[in-house]
């Protein structure tokens, strides 16, 4: 029982992933202004990758797929002439694998704790990142797919900003989808974001209303192997 409890206390991948993703969003606009911020941003990216690896580790199918995609993406980004569309699709698939792994863990949880809450928060942020990459794919196909005022959107950071504006249904209107593909993606993100919050909140409420007691898995571990 004690080793199992220590193992659970050592599971910090979801809180680290959540904090690292938030730190990425805060630091990204300032990376070009200061080398210190750029160094900090690189360190945060390393934390994201380490936390992602730990989150994927228990999943025997998703882990090797994500490792192959991540390694291939890393190599191709350093090869001159690699199509931007290819690296974006690799990013999209990797993030989808990570999101699926965390989502499975969150909805299999029997209790509401800091790990569950951090994992659910990380899923919400990953949804925004996945749609930002999807918008980038659309923009690569149609440079006029998004507009900011009278000018077309070109920077990837603007697409990340637009993705989270849509996900949270803020609707500032400073960046707008123009093409049919961009509008369809924006609608699907807004719907999925709201449905996730509704379903997740219902799941959390149901778990929090359950009477507290010993974890059945701990009882199985204390019982030892069958005779």
Instruction: For residue range 52-94, list pLDDT tens digits in order.
Output: 999 999 898 898 998 888 888 878 877 888 888 888 999 999 9
CA distance 80 to 70: 18
* Nearby residues of 104 by Cβ (< 8 Å), 6 or more positions away: 59
Residue pair 160/128 in contact (Cβ under 8 Å)? The answer is yes
- Note whether residue 227 is domain-resident: no
- Note whether residue 26 is domain-resident: yes
Arithmetic mean of pLDDT over the chain:
84
Tell me, what CATH number does 48's domain have?
1.10.287.70
The predicted structure's pLDDT at residue 207:
78
- Note whether residue 42 is domain-resident: yes
CA distance 140 to 16: 32
Please name every residue paired with 151 in a beta bridge, in sequence order, or none if there are none: 148
Instruction: Encode pLDDT of 42-51 as tens digits.
Output: 899 889 988 9
Instruction: Encode pLDDT of 139-156 as tens digits.
Output: 998 999 999 988 889 888
CA distance 103 to 94: 14
Q: By residue range, what is the domain housing residue 55?
A: 2-210
Average pLDDT over residues 20-29: 91
What is the enclosing helix (H) or strand (E) of 134?
helix 114-141
The predicted structure's pLDDT at residue 204:
76
Residue pair 70/95 in contact (Cβ under 8 Å)? The answer is no
Q: How much is the pTM?
A: 0.83
Domain count, the chain: 1
Average pLDDT over residues 164-168: 94
Q: Could you tell me whether strands 176-177 and 146-148 are parallel, antiparallel, or unpaired per DSSP bridges?
A: antiparallel
- Note whether residue 9 is domain-resident: yes
- Note whether residue 124 is domain-resident: yes
Tokens representing 68?
């192959």
pLDDT > 70 in the chain, percent: 88
- Note whether residue 189 is domain-resident: yes
pLDDT > 90 in the chain, percent: 40
């Amino acid at each position: 029982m004690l080793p199992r409890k220590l193992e659970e206390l050592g599971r910090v991948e979801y809180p680290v992933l959540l904090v690292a993703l938030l730190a990425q969003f805060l630091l990204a606009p300032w990376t070009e202004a200061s080398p210190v911020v750029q160094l900090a941003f690189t360190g945060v990216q390393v934390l994201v990758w380490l936390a992602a690896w730990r989150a994927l580790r228990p999943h025997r199918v998703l882990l090797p797929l994500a490792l192959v995609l991540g390694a291939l993406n890393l190599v191709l980004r350093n090869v001159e002439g690699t199509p931007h569309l290819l690296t974006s699709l690799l990013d999209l698939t990797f993030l989808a694998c990570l999101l699926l792994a965390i989502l499975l863990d969150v909805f299999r949880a029997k209790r509401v704790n800091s790990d569950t809450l951090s994992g659910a928060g990380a899923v919400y942020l990953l949804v925004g990142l996945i749609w930002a990459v999807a918008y980038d794919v659309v923009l690569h196909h149609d440079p006029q797919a998004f507009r900011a005022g009278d000018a077309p959107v070109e920077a990837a950071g603007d697409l990340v900003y637009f993705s989270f504006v849509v996900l949270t249904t803020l609707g500032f209107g400073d960046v707008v989808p123009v093409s049919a593909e961009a509008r369809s993606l924006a609608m699907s993100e807004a719907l999925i974001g709201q449905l996730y919050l509704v379903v997740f909140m219902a799941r959390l409420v149901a778990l929090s209303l359950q009477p507290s007691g010993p974890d059945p898995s701990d009882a199985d571990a204390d019982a030892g192997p069958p005779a």
